[in-house]
Amino acid sequence: MRFGVFTSLMGQTWPGVLELWQHLESTGWDTACVSDHFMPNTREREGAVLEAWSTLSALAAVVPRMRIGTIVLGNTYRHPSVVAKMAAQVDIISGGRLLFGIGAAWQRNEHEAYGIPFDTMRERLERLDEACTVIRLLWTERRSNFNGRYYQLADAPLDPKPVQKPHPELMIGGGGERVTLRIAAKHADHWNVWGGPKVLARKSAVLEEHCSKLGRDSKSINRSVNMALLITNSKADIDRLAETIAARMGSHAADARDTCLAGTPDQIREQLRRLQSAGATMVFVPTMFRPLDELRRDMNRFIAEIATDFR
């Protein structure tokens, strides 16, 4: 099992993110990813938010060991041909360490503020499906042609190609069972979802059904979860964390509790064993639910004392 950090770029500074990633690198984390947003998801729309691709490009050049990536790009924000080009360059800068995460996009206020069409959920998922085809073609073919409903390519080159062959690991984020997981079954090398053992087991079964219908081996898809870390002896502290997650993400209480990688070290080890049994190959710790200074103490302890038992 591998372990990563899901770095929110909201309320951050460039020096702060750089120092955090250098610390993650030196303490043994396997992967670090950035979020992709332009403004806070609040009525006021106030607060600093770093841009994902330019931040990741800079980090790729100065953090030399960890895999780096995105959880996850909003497909609607950029044309997939442009994204394929940008991703290839980041893979080159990093020496072949890019984990390319993409999703349909969900934050309505960004689309409204910047005049980006939001479309219906169905249309955004159809765009994501086409975008994955476009990106993979450009990464692997000398010249690419595609005539989709939303995107078209006409004898399109992409040079230079990514370092990773046949292409960077393509990760699709999301848990929608009817469509998103079907798109993951069709395109993904890696699927990422919010939740713990219960959520992963339930949705993995759906992913496997989609793979079976498409004639694909579901074991070829890596699976990762995003879980909020808290090392504590206090059930009340865990309940408060679950309440924070539920309020921020609009999730059900049971799913929010399942999203907590929380408890004593032994209890957390048991959760990790259950995740392994459900098929998880990676766990990401998000930074957005607890003060970073407080969270870092638990992250240091987790990677030194707990993660070592699962590598």
DSSP secondary structure letters along 284-301:
EEESSSS-HHHHHHHHHH
Of 198, 199, 196, the C-alpha closest to 228 is 196
| pLDDT tens for each residue of 195-235 | 999 999 999 999 999 999 999 999 999 999 999 999 999 99
Q: How confident is the model at residue 43 (pLDDT cuts 50, 70, 90)?
A: confident
Euclidean distance between CA atoms 177 and 187, whole angstroms: 15
Above 90 in pLDDT, residue 276?
A: yes
Q: How confident is the model at residue 255 (pLDDT cuts 50, 70, 90)?
A: confident
Above 90 in pLDDT, residue 254?
A: no
Above 80 in pLDDT, residue 44?
A: yes
Q: Which domains does the chain have, with CATH numbers?
A: 2-227+265-310 (3.20.20.30)
Q: How confident is the model at residue 286 (pLDDT cuts 50, 70, 90)?
A: very high
Q: Which residues pair with 3 in a beta bridge?
A: 283
| CB < 8 Å & 24+ apart, contacts of 38-41 | 38/77, 38/110, 38/113, 38/114, 39/109, 39/110, 39/113, 40/10, 40/11, 41/107, 41/109
Mean pLDDT (whole number) for 52-62: 98
Above 80 in pLDDT, residue 252?
A: no
pLDDT of residue 253: 63
Residue with tokens 């079964």: 205
High-pLDDT (> 70) share of the chain, %: 99
